[in-house]
Amino acid sequence: MSNIDPTEIEKFNAIAARWWDLSGEFSPLHKMNPYRIKYIEDNVGGLFDKTVLDVGSGGGILAEALAQRGATVTGLEPAPQSVEVAIEHAQQSQLDIDYHQGVIEDFAIDRAETFDIVTCLEMLEHVPDPASILTAAISTLKPGGYLFVSTLNRSLRGYLLGILAAEYLLNIVPKGTHEHNKFLKPSEVIGMIEQNDCKVQKANGIHFNPITQNFSINNDLAVNYILCAKKL
């Protein structure tokens, strides 16, 4: 459990009960989720009967959507109260999702080349060592499997829109959710991925329109972005 920031765990434990409040702190993730799912589906040719590991699964927003599309889903999350919420909500939704509390470095030890797909979405900006996360996550991928990573760009626009606007002007996410120095440039994440027998296939931006409150996928990586990589 070394590659965690205790303040991040405390932060997410404190609001864990509101993971499924569609108008609460996690509302942006709920609105973003259909676009993330479609992006994954389109790049892997459908999710039915695929084995998926969701690293940083939180309260299960992504994991449940994956399971609803026929994937066999394992969720991994270090914050214990988030795991409790995810398990309870999956049971209420009658979904069979295998949740674990812990970090990927430990989880991956005896699970080499196990999964068809691994997702690390909106979580690398919350950990001390993103490269370690990606190395361990990729080790659990089968050859030819797909990795999906999304995070925030350490750019001026990333700060202005991802922190100043989102947290202080528009109140889209709680103040203090992000730290700009933990954001990652696409070139940095691509480098971390491609050091581990993976090749990035696609890089796209995730754009939020504050007027319509909708998301879209585009080619602008300046703020939020998502990468699709394939294990060689």
Mean pLDDT for the chain overall: 93
Q: What is the tens place of the pLDDT at every residue in 58-76?
A: 999 999 999 999 999 999 9
Strand partners, 53: 74, 118
CA distance 86 to 47: 20
Domain that holds residue 37: 6-231
> pLDDT value at position 135?
98
Query: Into how many domains does the chain fold?
Result: 1
**Any domain includes 117:** yes
> pLDDT value at position 170?
65
> pLDDT value at position 11?
86
> pLDDT value at position 191?
98
**Any domain includes 1:** no
**Any domain includes 190:** yes
3-class state of residue 22 by DSSP: coil
DSSP 18: G
**Any domain includes 165:** yes
The CATH code of the domain that includes 147 is 3.40.50.150
CA distance 86 to 29: 15
> pLDDT value at position 167?
66
pTM of the predicted protein model: 0.93
What are the binding residues for S-adenosyl-L-methionine? 36, 56, 121
The ranges of the chain with pLDDT < 70 are 1, 165-171, 173-174
What are the binding residues? 36, 56, 121
**Among 119, 40, 109, which residue's Cα sits nearest to residue 74?**
119
> pLDDT value at position 57?
98
> pLDDT value at position 2?
77
**Any domain includes 217:** yes
